[in-house]
Amino acid sequence: MDAIAAGFAAIAEVQQLLSAHDDSSELAAISRLAHRQPVAISALTATVLDRALFWAKESAGSFDPTLGRLMAARGLLPQDDSLPSADHHANWRDVELDERSVRLARPLRLDLGGIAKGFAVDRAVIAMRTAGASCGLVNAGGDIRAFGSSPWSITIAAPGSRLPLGTVELLNAALATSADHGEATAIGSKHLAGASPMLASISVEASSAMDADALTKILMADSPHARHCLRQADATALRIFRDGRIIPYDSRHPAP
């Protein structure tokens, strides 16, 4: 029970720091102040933001943590009158991270929803191991990480119907899934604009849930840099089509 409590506490800490729904979070403080002056941040926030900017660069912007303005306009994030009006031309290149402080080149609203949940899962696993757990599975609704000496069988289900389509044997690794339910989702329409209409979801297996989480967004966006990004994380992926087919996403060759 101590290990489980430690895992929940780790997730709560990440939520407190990085929630786009909490105007007292460090994430909100960056969006509110960092266009005027550098804002000091915790090591955890710096870790997530650094990785988000890494994936933004590697994907040439298919993954962009500065879409908070668009998400709020679509009702996917709450409106916050305490935040300055975001520049419509702002993007990830306007975020300047210097170890433990952030400066924004122009007003923008950060949203780390495409990577922070995976990071929370990773932190929970670290906390549980530190508390003495020898094996476990952390499942945060689409972001999963397993640890221990034996694999965990994870069922992949069809979006909508939830019918089982197959299983993945997860051994000391993470699995994240993002789905297109045919409507605006937290992924954001920008990420889904280039996706095949036949594609229902993407599942990515990687060593960290943080990377797997971000990679699902890049692959769902049908980014031309998707295979490069998979190679960067030594990750594998499965494409789940609306007709029930599950086809590996080959990072070496173009898709058929």
Enter the pTM of the model: 0.89
Alpha-carbon gap, residue 122 to 207, rounded angstroms: 10
- Shared domain check, 144 and 82: no
Is 161 inside any structural domain?
yes
pLDDT tens track, the chain, 256 positions: 699 999 999 999 999 999 988 889 999 999 999 999 999 999 999 999 999 999 999 999 999 999 888 877 777 777 777 778 888 899 999 999 998 999 999 999 999 989 999 999 999 999 999 999 999 999 998 899 999 999 999 998 877 777 787 889 999 999 999 887 554 333 343 333 345 677 788 999 999 999 999 999 999 888 889 999 999 999 999 988 877 788 888 665 554 4
Alpha-carbon gap, residue 114 to 214, rounded angstroms: 6
- Shared domain check, 232 and 153: yes
Contact 73, 79 (CB under 8 A): no
Give the per-residue pLDDT at 190.
38
Number of domains in the chain: 2
- Shared domain check, 83 and 147: no
Give the per-residue pLDDT at 256.
44
Give the per-residue pLDDT at 239.
87
Find the domain containing 53 and state its range: 2-104
- Shared domain check, 144 and 46: no
In the chain, the largest separation of any two C-alpha atoms, in whole Å, equals 51
Domain boundary among 104, 127, 155: 104
Give the per-residue pLDDT at 214.
96
- Shared domain check, 222 and 175: yes
Contacting residues for 80 by C-beta, under 8 A, at least 6 apart: 23, 28, 72, 109
CA dihedral (61, 65, 70, 75) positive or negative: positive
Alpha-carbon gap, residue 253 to 19, rounded angstroms: 37
Domain boundary among 89, 104, 119: 104
SS3 category, 251: coil
Is 122 inside any structural domain?
no
Is 128 inside any structural domain?
no
Give the per-residue pLDDT at 181.
57
- Shared domain check, 160 and 96: no
Alpha-carbon gap, residue 195 to 190, rounded angstroms: 10
Is 166 inside any structural domain?
yes
- Shared domain check, 142 and 99: no
The DSSP call for residue 173 is E
> Where does the chain show beta strands of DSSP type E?
39-40, 95-98, 101-104, 136-139, 143-147, 152-157, 164-170, 173-179, 199-206, 236-241, 246-249
Is 240 inside any structural domain?
yes
- Shared domain check, 148 and 90: no
Domain boundary among 104, 127, 146: 104
- Shared domain check, 98 and 8: yes
Is 143 inside any structural domain?
yes
- Shared domain check, 55 and 6: yes
- Shared domain check, 141 and 82: no
Q: Which CATH number goes with the domain that contains 86?
A: 1.10.3980.10
Is 116 inside any structural domain?
no
- Shared domain check, 139 and 210: yes
Is 195 inside any structural domain?
yes
Give the per-residue pLDDT at 124.
98
Q: Which CATH number goes with the domain that contains 208?
A: 3.10.520.10
In terms of C-beta distances under 8 Å and separation of at least 24 residues, what long-range contacts does 50-54 make, across chains too? Answer: 50/97, 51/115, 51/119, 51/210, 51/211, 51/214, 52/92, 52/112, 52/114, 52/115, 52/214, 53/92, 53/95, 53/97
